[in-house]
Amino acid sequence: MKQLLCLAAALSFSIPTNLSAHCQVPCGIYDDNNVISSMHTDYVTIEKAIDQITELSKDPSANAHQLTRWIINKETHAQSIQDKVLNYFLAQRLKLPADDSEKELYAKKLALCHEVIVVAMKCKQSTDSANVEKLHDLLHSFEEHFGTKEEE
């Protein structure tokens, strides 16, 4: 078994490093609008979770289990948005500009990705509705910048 692992490791170094693919594993399944749509679903879940947490917090001892579930749910969906921005858009969709004419748009998209990640983090950390509203607005701006395919 040890020899097989060593062989696999050795072969991995012989793979060309100049491959250029849209995805880390180019499968053809994902598209920008589909991923953005799932981010909107995450947002709606965060919004509902915050409403439920606020309501259940009025009597936390009677609602401890449900309260815990909603908190975990809120944090999971906020993390999901962060993961999609990091692993899909930053790692795969946002490309370094080929020339100077595209640098401003690149910087704007990069700043937008960062802002979405930070606001999603703030949604994990609190139940402040201002963060939820800001996330909503950012996701619409994100869709304008990254949504590229027409729905069929």
Query: Can you give the pLDDT at residue 44?
Result: 98
Q: Looking at the domain assignment, is residue 130 inside a domain?
A: yes
CA neighbor of 11 nearest in space, from 3, 20, 22: 3
What range does the domain containing 74 cover? 31-145
Q: Looking at the domain assignment, is residue 136 inside a domain?
A: yes
Task: Decide: residue 1, CB within 10 A, 0-12 exposed, 13-18 middle, 19+ buried.
Answer: exposed
Query: Can you give the pLDDT at residue 106?
Result: 94
Written as six digits, the tokens of 67 are 């309260």
Q: Looking at the domain assignment, is residue 118 inside a domain?
A: yes
Q: Looking at the domain assignment, is residue 7 inside a domain?
A: no
From first to last of the 152 residues of the chain, give the pLDDT tens digit: 566 555 555 555 554 444 444 556 566 566 788 899 999 999 999 999 999 999 999 999 999 999 999 999 999 999 999 999 999 999 888 989 988 999 999 999 999 999 999 999 999 999 999 999 999 999 999 999 988 655 44
Query: Can you give the pLDDT at residue 149?
Result: 54
d(CA 17, CA 62): 57
Say how many domains are in the chain. Answer: 1
Q: Looking at the domain assignment, is residue 57 inside a domain?
A: yes
Q: How many CB atoms lie within 10 A of CB 44?
A: 11
Written as six digits, the tokens of 130 are 């201002």
Q: Looking at the domain assignment, is residue 49 inside a domain?
A: yes
Query: Tell me, what CATH number does 74's domain have?
Result: 1.20.120.400
d(CA 18, CA 102): 23
d(CA 97, CA 3): 43
